[in-house]
Structures are given as C-alpha cells and as structure tokens.
Amino acid sequence: MILILTTEEGDFSHPKFIDWLENLEANYLIISGEQISRGDVNFSIDDKNIYYNEINLTKEVKCVFYRRWFSSTKKTFTINKSFDNQVMKSLYSEMYEIRDFLFENLPKAIWYPSPKSVSVNKIEILKEAMNNELNVPKFLITNSKKRLIDFYTENDCSIITKAIGNLRIITFDEDTINPIYTKQVSRVLIDELSNNFFPSFFQRIIIKKIELRVLFFDDNFFTSAILSQENEMTMIDSRLYDEEIESRLVPYELKEEVKFKLIKMLKSLNINIGCIDIIIDEKGEYYFLEINPVGQISGYSERCFLNFEKKFIENLIKIDNGEIINC
Amino acid sequence: MEKLSIVNKLVLQGLLPVIFFNSQVKEKQTNYEIKKPNQINFSIEKINKKYLQKNLPDGHTNILTSKML
C-alpha cells in the first residue's frame, strides 16, 4: 500500500499526485493529521502495530509520500483567545509526536522524503554542496554590524538576506507578515541596524541569466528554467511576481556534470525528493542556492510539461508491487 | 503600514532577523480555498464526480477530503 500523509490546510501540489494514483489504479491511502485529530477515522498505535480503521499500516505500507501533516492554523475552542492559542500549540506538538513515531515505525516503508531530510539544516546543505564541488555564492550568518559591513564591501555592495531555515508567517491582528521572500540589503539599511542584531543570513548576489527549479526523486531530474530576469520584480526572488506578468518557464536539461555532483550531494544528505534552486550567471556558471525537500511541485511540472507527478507515482507503484526493493 | 513600521522597528532594534525588514503585510486568509479539482487537470474532474456523489459536507469539495470520507 502507498500511504500519503498530508494536511487539509492546503497543499497545492498533492491533487495531481492523487489524480495519478487514481488513474494508474494504485493501492493507496491518504491520512491527514486533522482527520485523526477530529476522530473521523479510528487510529491506534499499540506495542506492535499501527492501525487505521481495520488496516494494519505496519504490515501494509510499502511506501510513504509525506506532504506535511497537521495545520497550525488557530482554531476557536472558547471565547478566550490566549487559552485557545495554548491549546492549539499543545495539540500541534502532540500530533507531531505521532508523526515522528510514524517516521520511525513503518518498517517496510520507503519514505519520500526520507524522514531525516524533512527538517534538514539549510546551512548543512550549503556546506555539503561545496564539499561536492558545486558553486555556492559566498554567504555569512552574523549578528554583528561590523562583520556585515565587511561582507557587504567584500561582495561589491551586492548582497541579499533570507531566512536561515523556514521562518513562519506571523499573524498580527487581522494581517499576516510574510518573511519568506529574499531581499536585497542596502547600505542604508545596514547603517540603521544596531551594532548587534538578531542572527541573520546574508549572501552575495549572483547576476543571473537563468534561474532553474530542479524537481527530483532518486536520480531523476526534471528541470524548468524560470526567465525571471525579464521582469524587475522577479529578479531577486522569482516567487514575488506581478500577478499580470508571470515569469516565463521552459523545460531545461541539466549538464551531466552538474547532475553527477547533485546526486553525490543528495546521497550524502539522504535526500531522495524535493526541489533544488540553481542559478546560471552570465558566464554560464551554475550556482547552487538551496533544496526544499517538501517544496511546491505541480506549478513547474504543469507549465513545463515535465510530467513529474506521473513518473513519481509510477515509481511508488513499482515499490508497492515489489519491483523496486531499495532506492 | 503601521504594522510594517512596528516590524521594521523591531528589526532595527535587533529583535527580529533582517529578512523581516519591509516584509509583505497581507490580510489574513481565514478560509483556505483549495482549488477545485476540475480547475487542476484533465482527469481529476471525473474522479471527483465519483466522490461528490457521496454528499460531501459544505466546504469539503477537494479530492483529498473526498477520498477520506
């Protein structure tokens, strides 16, 4: 059996995978954390097995596709908001304990992504990329204004900042504050910072000719080129687009040498599925930026006719049928 | 704008990471709208039709939820 773990909060990549599971008549089951928390189904763990209704997951599940688990969206239990927030945090933590147990206790299952890579450290990834001879734009994590000024000068006054890990959207009354987009850092901003500030990530800007979004599972790569330089808004972060003028996307074939280095890096990090961000500069040099093991897939796959979802589900079905034993 | 200036002030005071400076402030989305399957691709409409026949509760029109019922 193929198990899909997801959340009802919204994961825009999952419907196409489910479509192909149906289309290819796979033996599959979808579980969300919310479904279990609400008691829509019977879910139990005893000293030997994990059960979903009458299904013994411990024995049945041959592969798992993990697409998140439980929403942290605030819910109303009482009229006291503070109480409700604390209850929600507590429930969230408890549900993630269950998920962590699933990670380790479906002995027959091959996981996508592998559990250890779900929360892989982004700095560790950059170091591993460099160990595998991939170009990585110079970066610095610091809380020191003096060190930041030196880094800014050393890198031709052209640097960006982004989150070190996965910063969450913050809710502020009826609004949300979203810190996920990469931003250029100006000297004016640096001058305004205090001598020591909250540790932040900075990186040299590489003037890009093309930006690549590489979807992959195991050794299979499906690449789209984002022509983000055509629009001023998307030059620093292609996700920040003008709704009327989206960046053009075209299929792209990675160089074999780059694929080889990526495969080596992914194996050493135990990452078997995800999205890789790469940029190519004006001289044609590749620069590795980051990997997201649970990234958004379907937009790129659909717009570039990559057919990632079908090929991935065919792979899961082969695992479920015993045609692939270990990846 | 007022909220943005509070966030910016916290960055300059060293209490928030620099990435928060001039962050996007948007109205909170309370109802997550999951795209209806027939907006997504070719065959999901057919699949969904099968599940929609099961009298789905209000707001549960996505393929994920329908498969769970």
- Is the confidence at residue B67, as pLDDT, over 60? no
Residues of A whose CB is below 8 A from B67: 18, 30
Paired tokens of A167 = 């910063």
Would you state the pLDDT for residue A11? 64
Q: pTM here?
A: 0.80
Cα separations (Å) of A266 from A128, A135, A271? 9, 15, 5
Rounded to a whole number, what is the distance in Å from the CA of A7 to chain B's nearest CA? 9
What is the identity of the amino acid at A196? Answer: N
Q: Write the CB contacts of A71 (distance below 8 Å, at least 6 apart in sequence).
A: A7, A8, A9, A33, A34
Would you state the pLDDT for residue B26? 77
A 230-289: CB under 8 A from B: none
Mean pLDDT of all residues in A301-324: 90
Residue B33: band (very low, low, confident or very high) from pLDDT cuts 50, 70, 90: very low
Rounded to a whole number, what is the distance in Å from the CA of A134 to chain B's nearest CA? 26
Residue of B nearest to A53 (CA): B68
Whether A25 has its CB under 8 Å from any CB of chain B: the answer is no
Would you state the pLDDT for residue B42? 35
Rounded to a whole number, what is the distance in Å from the CA of A212 to chain B's nearest CA? 23
Would you state the pLDDT for residue A233? 62
Would you state the pLDDT for residue A136? 97
The verdict on whether omega for the bond into residue A199 sits within 30 degrees of 0, i.e. cis, is no
* Of A180 and A270, more confident: A270
Mark yes or no for CB contact A175/B3 under 8 Å. yes
Quick one: which of A63, A23, A72 has its CA closest to A217? Answer: A63
Mean pLDDT of all residues in A8-31: 81
pLDDT in tens, A249-262: 888 999 999 999 99
Mark yes or no for CB contact A12/B21 under 8 Å. no
